[in-house]
Amino acid sequence: MSSSQKRVLPILFGTLLLDMVGTGMIFPIIPIIFTDPNSHAFLLHGYSQGMQFFLAGLVTALFGLMQFIAAPLLGELSDVYGRKKLLSLGIGTLAVSQILFGFGIEIASIPLILFSRAIAGLAAANFSIAQATIADVTEPKDRAKNFGLIGAAFGTGFIVGPLLGGWIAGLTGDPAAPFWFAGALGVINLTFVTLMLQETNLNPRASHGFTVFKGIRNIQAAIRDVDARPVYLTTFLYMSGFTFMTSFMGVFLVGKFGFDETAVGTFFAAVGAWVIFTQLFLLRILASKYSERQIVRYTMLIMGAAMIAYPLLPSVPWLYIVMPFIAVSQGLTMANLTSLVSKSVSAERQGAALGINGSLMAFSQGAIPLVAGIGTGVIGISMPLIIGGIIVWIAWSVLFIFMRRRA
């Protein structure tokens, strides 16, 4: 890389960090306003518990479903029109969605809350542009560790975002307050990208037709792609299992251990601390010694076991003891699966391939919360964790048993 290209990585990290801080503020708020009738911030008085869980799943699902639509479009559009323009558009739109979410809470408007999350999902799909930007300036052998920058930004966002969201809501007594702050962060982030980030797509492709059904076509393309299909399927199943846990972890903490918004935010912050340690330090050490497949062979097994163990834990201290096994495994698994996808296609298809991968992940993040919401209402709050762990193990089986390849 040239010196100018090297500067892209820390700038992109800062951009994603601000993005994720704002996005992460929602995690301690959703279980309080949708599933905790004892909270003064609860919005669903008069709704059955099953409907409360369903709406909590729906508000999360909309975010993922919109990403499913937008991620492949943004990935390919950035191949044609450049990374910077599309990234800036997404950041600005995300800032607006945060402000709308805050208004929705203030006026107790469930439709406005749902609408704002749909818009946020469209905007947050710019992670596929970030992945393509990293691929633009990184040699194939270094992609796993540099994709780890995205994970590190997510991890840091999970430290600062939920912590700020929980504490701001707790100190002000207003669950909408974190989203005013998130909107301001979005404006700062947009200014930062406009002034600091250089364009990395120096050989744009010719324009061609785009369609909102690209996400569905991407699933078909993933099935047809013999070389990348095992990794695509593994990523989809892994994210499905992981999303079972993340979409209802806050509800689980509130329902079983009586957490408030501040405690939920602190918990997610601790998870983020472990993820950033993994992405910035542990991943780089392991990537220099082991291949991607060698790493995920173990991390996916550990992840599934830790998820299934969570409902069996007797007290809060045990939550924090088991937490590193989940956070470290997640940090290592996602970076290496993304690198495997990137290595499965040619250089000129990086944006499209990573868009396909993002589409699969977004589909799981959109569909699974709905399933988890319905299942939680029928079976109980432990269901998402147990089912999620089993699906992670199935993902491992796909990559290492049913679709054997040399590691």
- Whether 391 shows a pLDDT value over 50: the answer reads yes
Residue 394 inside a domain? The answer is yes
pLDDT in tens, 62-95: 988 887 888 777 777 787 878 888 888 888 999 9
C-beta atoms surrounding 306 within 10 Å: 22
Provide the total of helices (H) and of strands (E) in the chain, helices listed first.
16, 0
Residue 276 pLDDT class (50, 70, 90 cuts): confident
Distances (CA, A) of 344 to 62, 228, 341, 349, 378: 30, 5, 5, 10, 41
Residues above pLDDT 90, as percent of the chain: 31
Q: Per the domain annotation, does 9 fall within a domain? A: yes
Query: Which pTM was predicted?
Result: 0.79
Residues in the chain: 407
Residue 407 lies in a domain: no
Please give the residue range of the domain that contains residue 384: 3-197+213-402
> What pLDDT does 406 receive?
42
Residue at 241 is within a domain? yes
- Mean pLDDT within 292-314: 92
Q: Which one, of 287, 265, 304, 285, lies nearest residue 394 by Cα?
A: 304
Q: Residue 282, exposed/middle/buried by CB under 10 A (0-12, 13-18, 19+)?
A: middle
Domain count, the chain: 1
258, with CB counted inside 10 A (0-12, 13-18, 19+), is exposed
Q: Is the pLDDT of residue 302 over 70?
A: yes
Number of Cβ within 10 Å of residue 404's Cβ equals 9
CATH code, 364:
1.20.1250.20
Half-sphere exposure of 173 (CA within 13 A, CB side): 1
Q: Tell the burial category of 322 from Cβ atoms under 10 Å away from its Cβ (0-12, 13-18, 19+).
A: middle
DSSP string, 257-298: H---HHHHHHHHHHHHHHHHHIIIIIHHHHHTTS-HHHHHHH
The answer to whether position 258 is within a domain reads yes
Tell whether 202 is covered by a domain: no
